[in-house]
Structure 1
Amino acid sequence: MSVFNQPRKRVIQLIILGMVVLIITRLFFLQIVEKKYAKLADANAVLRKVVYPSRGIIFDRQNRSILGNDVLYDLVVTPASAKNIDTLYLCNILKIDKEEFRKRIINAIVKNGRVRQSVFAPLLAPDVFGQLQESMYLFQPGFELVPRQIRSYPYAAAANILGYIAEISPGMLKDSAYFSYNSGDYLGFTGLEKTYESVLMGKRGIQYLVKDNLNRPQGAYENGEFDSAAVAGKNLRLSLDIELQQLGEKLMKGKSGSIVAIDPQTGGILAMVSGPSFDPNLLTGSYRSANFSKLYVDTTKPLFNRAIQAMYPPGSTFKPMIALVGLDEGVITPSFGYPCGGAYYGCNRPIKCEHHDAGHAANLRLALSHSCNSYFSHVYRLSVDAGKFGGIKVGGMQKWADYMNNFGFGHRIGIDIPSEGRGLVPDKKYYDNRYKGSWNSCTSVFLGIGQGELLLTPLQMANAMCIVANRGSYYIPHFVSSIDNDDTRLLDKYKVKHDVAHISDTAYRAVINGMTDVVESGTGRVAQIEGVKVGGKTGTAENYGFVNGVRTKLKNHAMFVAFAPAENARIAIAVIVENSGYGARYAGPIAGIMMEKYLKDTLSVKRQAQMKTVIETVTIDPAMLAKSHLDSLNRAASIKQKKP
């Protein structure tokens, strides 16, 4: 027994001896060899200061800085050190009472404890900072002024694209997704600021400073031996043209709706306007919270990004897609005609067409240029009722929905800003649930003219024009073209070319011919550009809402989609102006102005006159405008920006 126990005893002794040697070696290293921890432990008069990095800058396609950094100051407090200070004077400077002072101290203790710094008064106004800076010796050692970078927007545009930054909330700090953040840190909450937070934020640094007997910083501790430098965030380079964006926001003033312009050759977004828009400078600095609250409740909903969140029936702008499906399935050819006498009589009740003249739907090209409802209602029914699918209920409806999904409808496309809407493409399951199996192609016939249950976002409509212009391909629409010194591969998915189904070049050519006729001789002549062939399509979408609890038909939404030049498109665009009537009235001119500005970098005299008319037109309900504070907020931000 003792023979077996002896080796076991020696093994245990060796393990214990090894652990003792390891501990002694580590202590020797820390206390004799490595001086860092010993010095920091002995240095009770050392102040640990966080150095916040410079957040990445954002540039437009012409390398113009459209978002930069300014500096404001936070007043921070260490509750355990806030003793024997002139509390009354500090309250007077901050314009608070003693009760509020005590409340903030208690909140700081609850939030971060007694010996850690907490923000006491964030983003001080310049006049308050000036008074504090002169008198800080009266409030030390408990209080300190800490520089804080805030965003500035020299072009006062693209608010819903860029997004805003704000201090991280206590709730977010409990989320494991934000483990690298500390109380008081700022991060992106919306827009590009949120999507690209990981590259824009940079990396915090630490600075150790020696304090004197009055706790005043005297210089770097140990010549900065233990300091770590802050690493600036990376810059973003956008496809956005800020001047085109400004023009779009100007055109949409006094209007609800959207403009989305994309480069079909890359998927880069050239402009994205949500009207009415607001000055992004409202959401920076010491008045950010107050301004956000006002924007949030404003009757015109400026914080709602209509370009990616609003969903509309596309109306006649959808007819090119109906034509492509019909051509691809072989139920029509480009020469297919329909004897329209002003209405479609194939279902239970007539579906009216705006044209009565003979031959206006004699072929696809004419039907597109005249926007014949009867023609496209019939083409839709031919497609979904096709015998090779077993009829609409067996496979026809689902096949049609699959086409629409391939065109980018009914799901998020994947743009690089958050909160994109899905839209709605009804399929077989949708109609089975809604009508309990009792439905046919007449139930959904209005899909043929872009009405019924179909809903698209302006972004989806603009992307569809990229598909047509490219004859069957697109890149995921995005803003960021490149990231300086990037090794994250965040942008790889935006470089991939997506091919749509198997539709032939012949089918696309037939549709493009019809769309160029729309602009040259049809319903979209207001979008003509001298010397440039434009493909386009007008649309007028019926609009229903609730008035006093009753579903009521309201004024139609005006729509226009286009691309130019037709043979080698450099811009594709979708314009929606809510409650403004026919597509050619306002949406068409806006599209023409935007395309001409981008393609020629100037506007003709005729176009300038057209622009003046559009800008002066207000389509938002006057009662809604009367309750809105948006104009006064934007004016205040503009005045503030002009001050030196």
Structure 2
Amino acid sequence: MQYLEGRKYVVQGIFLVVALIFLTRLFFMQVLDGTYKLAADKNTLQRIVQIPYRGLIYDRKNQLLVQNTPVYDLMVVPREVKQLDSARFCELLQIPQEGLRASLKAAKKYSRIKPSPVVQNLTTPDLAAISDRLADFPGFRIQARMARAYRTPNLAHALGYVGAITPAFLEKPRYAKYQAGENVGISGLEAYYEDTLMGRRGVQYKMVNVRGIEKGKFRGGEFDTLSVAGQDLHLSIDAELQAYGEKLLAGRRGSIVAIDPKSGEILAFVSVPNYDPQQLTGKGSGNRYMALLNNPDRPLFDRPLMATYPPGSVFKLVNELVALQLGVVTPNTPFDCNQKLVRCTHRHEPPRNVSIAIKQSCNPYFYQVLRAAVVRGQASNKYEDAHIGLAQWQKMVKSFGLGEKLGVDMSQEKRGLIPSPEFYDHKFFNKKENRQHRWSFRNVYSLAIGQGEIGITGLQMANVLATIANRGWYITPHFVRGIGQGGPLPQFRQKHYTAVDTALFKYIIPGMQQVVDGNGGTGELASLAQYGISVAGKTGTVQNPHGFDHATFAAFAPANDPKIAIAVFIENSGFGGTSAAPAAGLMIEKYLRGKVAPYRHRMEDWIMYGDFTKKLHGM
């Protein structure tokens, strides 16, 4: 019995020792979290998050576009603030007392024990002016970090920008590890690749006295972790081509998107009006952002991804391919230029085949092409027949990457619209009478010439031309060709095939070449025949109910071995052959030859300063 009694005390003792170890460990862990102050010699434990070095961004030729520069943030831990002389503090920092009160209120709401920003983006001279006197204000400390610096005034919409994380961001699971005052990618590639660029945070635990003077590492740094730098991004963008495109369209409204058809890599991504990405960095960036946001020219609006337009006559290429696949036309099918069906814009030779029809952009021809594709006698009732035919047409058109997000590595992409039978059912439903009005091909024929309800983005149009250049397939367009030492993300390596047989694409390309290089072609101002380069393209003039028509042109070159596909939209610029075509021709010349011939500077001036309501002569 005595032996058992003694054993009981031994067991109890073991449990007691284990409990003491656990409680001691728990105590120290709470200290590490910053929730306790150490009583010994009035030292305080600081948990300092080490923000990793953010990855850099380069263009396709390894030119540095985005780098990091040191800045400093003044942080506050509300719990540590004692008897603050706000007037003296604000005089030191040169900030209004109202701003200080607002910052302290926001900091207390966020956390009383974690640091929050009071003043951000202090420069080295700013820091030198306040550092000696900051010790008089317990609870305030300086936190160094690296801010973004943009070495190019171009590509703002694609690069995006980095800014202080907002309370709304902090509530999202993706940003659970972030703290108030830290920076995060807000838009563009900076946001899409945030996890890649940011890297992994580190943590240091330091002892400081009541005046904020460092007293050394806590327990020799055994609880510290090292930060890991973010990975660099290597873009497919050609910085010289991008700058040239922005120069051409400066002062206009519109977009240019250029793609390498074989890889899906985006070579140029022009959106105008635009802004210098450096405007959204450093002190005062919030005010500058609001000025851009309220600018009536909408420079923050990302036109290649977010503006949807009817594609105009460029869409005739897609309709022809669908009709060829359905077997309702052949490359040699003739149709009359019957202007009783729909008006044609100019007199031209009879469209005896598809090449002539594409070259002359004959509206009545493509009216009859779409009618043959939709109205196929699949139902005895003409309304049901149109419903069935349009559903089949829509499915095939969407296989070109239209009517859905392509999946580019940017978050603000719009779907566009390829209307379905259900769309027209809704459109023609009479709410007052509470009954469905029937519709037939005559109600949707404007789709034949890329007008009406259809809407696509500049990126989608460039991708359609890349698909035609590849004879029936595309790789999802993307900006990043390499992450760190690796390649692009897996989804940007896969081929996507359309619903049209690859063997049929060859039938529309000769007509596209005639658009540019043929005598009297509508896109002759994009011709590079003088350099031995054949351009295959299509002009478009998009009706605009709110003003002068929009101009568009889409092309690829060289026609037999495409290295660039391009789409140009210029708002309120009239005929596509007059404005958009020469802009595309200059961009293609710049990319393929590396320069633009001096004698073509007059055409550059026309794009930048010309009156597009008048015709360009002598080019």
TM beyond 0.5? yes
Residue number in structure 2 paired with 1:539: 540
Q: Which amino acid letter does the alignment assign opposite residue 249 of structure 2?
A: M
Judged with a 3 Å threshold, the aligned counterparts in structure 2 of structure 1 residues 120 and 439 are, in CA distance, closer, same or farther, namely same
* 2:305 is aligned with 1:308: yes
Query: Following the alignment from structure 2 to structure 1, what is the Cα–Cα distance between the partners of residues 375 and 102?
Result: 70
Shift of 1:268: 0.8
Q: Which runs of 5+ in 2 are unaligned?
A: 429-435, 614-619
Query: In the aligned structure 2, how far is the partner of 1:528 from the partner of 1:54?
Result: 47
Taking the aligned partners of 1:353 and 1:225, their CA distance within structure 2 comes to 80
1:463-504 deviation per Cα after TM superposition (whole angstroms, max 9, x unaligned) = 100110000000011111121156xx9811111111111424
1:623 aligned residue:
none
User: How far is 1:202 from its partner?
Assistant: 1.4
Instruction: Calculate the TM-score normalised by the size of structure 2.
Output: 0.89
In 1: Cα distance, 2:180 partner to 2:12 partner: 39
Task: For residues 488-547 of structure 1, give each alpha carbon's deviation from its aligned partner in whole angstroms, at most 9, with x where no partner exists.
Answer: x98111111111114242x211101110110102111111122111100010000013xx
In structure 1, the partner of 2:352 is: 362
The 3-state SS of whatever aligns with 2:549 is strand
Change (3 A) 1:46 1:466: same
The residue matched to 1:209 in structure 2 has which SS?
Answer: strand
Distance 1:19 1:184 in 2: 49
**Alignment length (residue pairs):** 587
Once the 2 structures are TM-superposed, how far is the Cα of residue 87 of structure 1 from its aligned partner? 4.0
The answer for unaligned runs of 5 or more in structure 1 is 1-9, 546-553, 621-644
Q: Is the 8 A contact 1:352 1:374 kept in 2?
A: yes
2:407 maps to 414
Tell me if structure 2 keeps the 8 A contact 1:30–1:38. Answer: no
Match of 1:101 in 2: 100
Alignment of 1:355-504 (within 5 A): 355-359=346-350, 361-387=351-377, 392-435=385-428, 436-484=436-484, 491-504=489-502
Distance 2:387 2:10 in 1: 79
For 1:618 and 1:191, how far apart are their aligned partners in 2? 33
Residues 431-489 of structure 1, C-alpha deviations (whole Å, 9 max, x = no match) = 22222352211211111111111111111111100110000000011111121156xx9
Aligned with residue 555 of structure 1, among 548, 569, 573: 548
Q: Distance in 1 between matches of 2:79 and 2:30?
A: 24
The one-letter code matched in structure 2 to 1:543 is N
Partners of 1:458 and 1:519 in 2: how far apart? Answer: 20
Q: Return the offset for 1:64.
A: 1.4
How far is 1:164 from its partner? 1.3
Counterpart amino acid of 1:468?
A: I
> What secondary structure sits across from 1:273 in the alignment?
strand
Equivalence for 2:147: 150
Match of 1:242 in 2: 239
In structure 2, relative to structure 1, the CA distance for the partners of 1:30 and 1:107 (3 Å cut) is closer
User: Deviation digits for residues 311-370 of structure 1, max 9, x if unmatched?
Assistant: 101111111111111222222211122222xx5324xxxx211232442x1211111111
1:203-222 CA distance string (max 9 Å, x none): 22112233356331244444
User: In the alignment, is residue 172 of structure 1 matched against residue 169 of structure 2?
Assistant: yes
Change (3 A) 1:389 1:319: farther
Find the partner of 1:209 among 206, 214, 226.
206
CA distance in 2 between partners of 1:408 and 1:466 (Å)? 11
What corresponds to 2:514 in structure 1?
517
Q: Tell me the secondary structure at the aligned position of residue 73 of structure 2.
A: strand
Residue 365 of structure 2 aligns with an amino acid whose one-letter code is Y
Alpha-carbon contact 1:208-1:227 (below 8 Å) kept? yes
Do the aligned partners of 2:62 and 2:234 also contact (CA within 8 Å) in 1?
Answer: yes
SS of the aligned residue for 2:131 comes to helix
Q: Secondary structure at the match of 1:269?
A: strand
What do the CA deviations read for 1:417-436 (whole angstroms, capped 9, x no partner)? 01111111112112222223
**SS of aligned partner of 2:234:** strand
Q: What is the CA-CA distance between 1:86 and the residue it aligns to?
A: 5.7
Residue among 181, 189, 199 paired with 1:184: 181
The answer to whether the Cα contact below 8 Å between 1:255 and 1:577 also exists between their aligned partners in 2 is yes
Counterparts of 1:61-80 in structure 2, within 5 Å, are 61-80=60-79
Alpha-carbon separation, structure 2, partners of 1:39 and 1:540: 69
Shift of 1:249: 1.3
Query: In the alignment, which of 130, 133, 157 is matched to residue 131 of structure 2?
Result: 133
Match of 1:353 in 2: 344
Cα displacement string for residues 282-324 of structure 1 (whole angstroms, at most 9, x for unaligned residues): 1111121111111111111111111011110111111111111
Give, as a single letter, the amino acid of the residue that structure 2 aligns with 1:429: E
Cα–Cα, structure 1 residues 175 and 137, in superposed 2: closer, same or farther, change >3 Å? same
Q: 1:608 to 1:373 in 2, by over 3 A?
A: same
Structure 1 residues 182 and 485: alpha-carbon distance in aligned structure 2, compared to 1, 3 A threshold? farther
Partner residue of 1:551? none
Contact 1:256 1:619 in 2 (8 A): no
The one-letter amino acid of 2:266's match is I
Matching residue within 153, 157, 160 for 1:160: 157
Structure 2 Cα separation of the partners of residues 618 and 60 of structure 1:
34
Cα pair 1:465 1:562 within 8 Å, conserved: yes
Which residue pairs with 1:317 in the alignment? 314
- Give the one of 112, 119, 126 matched to 2:117: 119
C-alpha deviation, 1:73, in angstroms: 1.0
Distance in structure 1 (CA, Å) of the matches to 2:314 and 2:483: 35
The amino acid across from 1:116 in the alignment is K
Q: Which amino acid aligns with 2:376?
A: A
CA-to-aligned-CA distance 1:59-104 (integer Å, 9 cap, x gap): 1111111111112111112233333666434312333344543443
Q: Deviations over 1:540-599 (max 9, x none)?
A: 000013xxxxxxxx2000000000111111110100000011101211111111111111
Identity among equivalent positions (%) equals 38
Of residues 273, 276, 280 in structure 1, which corresponds to 2:277?
280
Matched residues in 2 for 1:311 and 1:87: separation?
Answer: 52
Equivalent AA in structure 1 for residue 343 of structure 2 = K
Which stretch of the first structure deviates more once superposed, 115-124 or 410-419?
A: 115-124
Q: Counterparts of 1:376 and 1:110 in 2: how far apart (Å)?
A: 64
Amino acid at match of 2:533: V
Aligned to 1:629: none
Distance 2:483 2:379 in 1: 47
Aligned counterparts, 1:77-96, within 5 A: 77-83=76-82, 87-96=86-95
Q: Specify which of 568, 579, 582 is matched with residue 575 of structure 1.
A: 568
Q: Tell me, yes or no, if the aligned pair for 2:314 and 2:553 is still in contact at 8 Å.
A: yes
Distance 1:490 1:368, change over 3 A: closer
Q: What residue identity is the alignment partner of 2:407? A: G
**What is the root-mean-square deviation of aligned Cα atoms in Å?**
2.8
Question: TM-score, with normalisation over the residues of structure 1?
Answer: 0.85
Please say if residues 578 and 612 of structure 2, whose CA atoms lie closer than 8 Å, have aligned partners that are also in contact. no
Amino acid at match of 2:412: S
Distance 2:12 2:422 in 1: 68
* 1:128 Cα offset (Å): 3.4
In terms of mean alpha carbon deviation, does 496-505 or 410-419 score higher? 496-505
Which residue does the alignment assign to 2:617?
A: none
TM-superposed deviation, 1:37: 5.7
The code of the aligned residue for 2:346 comes to: H
